[in-house]
A and B are shown apart, each in its own frame.
Chain A
Amino acid sequence: MTADKSDEREQKLRESSLAFFGAITASVSHELNNVISIIDQTAGLLGDLLAGVKYGRPLSEEQLERIAEKVKNQTGRGVRFIKRLNTFAHSADEPVREFEFNQLVENLTALTDRLAVLKGVSLQVRYTDQPLKLVNSPFLFQQALFLIIKNLLARSEKNDTITVSVSVQDNGGKVEIVAPAKDSAEPEYPENLELLIESLEGSLKVGSDPEKICYEILIPGIKYQ
C-alpha cells in the first residue's frame, strides 16, 4: 500500500471513529437528560406538596415514599447509563486489547437500544453460553456492529425485530445481525464498514433472501485460558 493510500485510510478511520463516538455520546446524553428531567420534576412535586402543607393540605407517608422511590429508580437508571458510557469510552484506550466478546456486544447494543426504541423496533441479543475472550480492537469492532445496526434500523419498520447473535467460529468471535427483508431491496454496505473489518483482520458476509437480511462479522483473536 502506498503512503498516500495508507494516510487516506487512516483519515477515513479517524473520521468514522469520531462520528461513532459522537453518535453514542449524543444518545447517552439524551438519556441522562431524561433522567435529570424526571428527578427535577420529582423535586418540584415535593416542593409543591410541601407548599400545600403550609396551607393545611396533608402530606402522607405514601406520597413521600413514592417520591423517594422515583428518585431512587432514576438515580439507578442514570448510574447504569454512566457505567455503560464509561465502559464504552475506555474501549478506545488501546488499539488492541483483551476483551470479553459477549459483554462488549451487550454494552454496545444497550447503548444503541434507544435508537431502536425510537423506531419501534426490538433489538434482541443472544450470547454464547461460555465467556469468550478475544484479543483485537474492541473499539473498531463496536463501530462495525453499530454501523450495521444503524443501517438496518434505517430500513426497519415499527414492530420489526433485529437479532444480534454471538458465537464462536474458527478461533474467532462471530456476530450475526439479522433483520427482516424489505421488498426486494439489496443489503447495503455502510460506508467504512469494509475498512473496519479489514482493520480488525476479520471477514464480513452479507446475504439476503425474501425473508431476511443477514450480516456476519467474524473477527480473529480468540484467547484460550
Chain B
Amino acid sequence: MSELKVLLVDDEEELVSTLVERLEYRQIKAEFLLNGAAAIQRMREEKFDVVLLDLKLPGISGIETMRVLKKEHPEVPIILITGHGSLANEEDMPKGAFDYLPKPIDLEILVQKIREAVAVK
C-alpha cells in the first residue's frame, strides 16, 4: 500500500504544524495550509488522499472551501474539524463531508478516520 497523503487546512499554524509532525510519526505524509484559497490551489497541483478541513477559516469559509473541493475532486474525502458548538450533532454535518472531529482532536481517532475514509474511497 502506498503512503497516505493528507492535506490539513486550519489557520492555527501551531496546531496544524504539530499535527503534521505527529501524523508523519505514524507514517502518514501530511502537509498543512492556513486558508481555503491556498488549499483549493494546492489541490489543483497535487492529489491528496484525504483533506482535513477546519470549518472556521479566514476569508473563504470552510464550507465554501469544501464546496469547491468536492466539485473539483469529488473522490477525495473531507474530514471537518469543528470548534465545540460548531456542530451540535451529526445531523448538522454539512453535506459532502466524510466525517467530523471536534477540537481538541484525538490523534488516534483522527488516524482511524483517515484510514476509514481511504478504505471507503
Contact = CB atoms under 8 A, between A and B. Distances in A.
A74 B22 contact: no
A183 interface: no
A34 B15 contact: yes
A41 B56 contact: no
A37 interface: yes
Contacts of A45: 18, 21-22
B112 to A, nearest CB: 15
Interface in A9-55: 26, 29-30, 33-34, 36-38, 40-42, 44-45, 48, 52
Interface string B98-112: 000001110100000
- Say whether chain B's binding surface is mostly helix, strand, loop, or mixed: loop
Contact of B104 (A30, A40, A117, A120): A40
**Interface size grouping (class) on chain B:** 20 to 34
A144 to B, nearest CB: 26
Contacts of A119: 58-59
Contact of A38 (B14, B22, B85, B107): B14
B25 A33 contact: no
A38 B15 contact: yes
Contacts of B116: none
B28 to A, nearest CB: 13
A91 B11 CA distance: 31
B59 A33 contact: no
B56 A37 contact: no
Contact of A42 (B18, B83, B85): B18
A126 interface: no
The CB with the most chain B CB atoms within 10 A, among A34, A48, A117, is that of A34
Contact of A41 (B58, B83, B104): B104
A73 B25 CA distance: 24
Nearest to A118: B58
A212 to B, nearest CB: 22
Contact of A37 (B11, B22, B59, B105): B105
A70 B14 contact: yes
Contact of B14 (A26, A48, A73, A158): A73
A36 B107 CA distance: 14
A34 B18 CA distance: 13
Given A34-B83, A41-B105, A44-B107, A74 B58 contact: no
Interface of B: 11-12, 14-15, 18-19, 21-22, 25, 56-61, 83-85, 103-105, 107
Given A45-B21, A117-B11, 17 more contacts: A26-B85, A30-B56, A30-B85, A33-B83, A33-B103, A33-B104, A34-B12, A34-B83, A34-B103, A36-B104, A37-B12, A37-B103, A38-B12, A42-B14, A48-B25, A74-B14, A118-B57
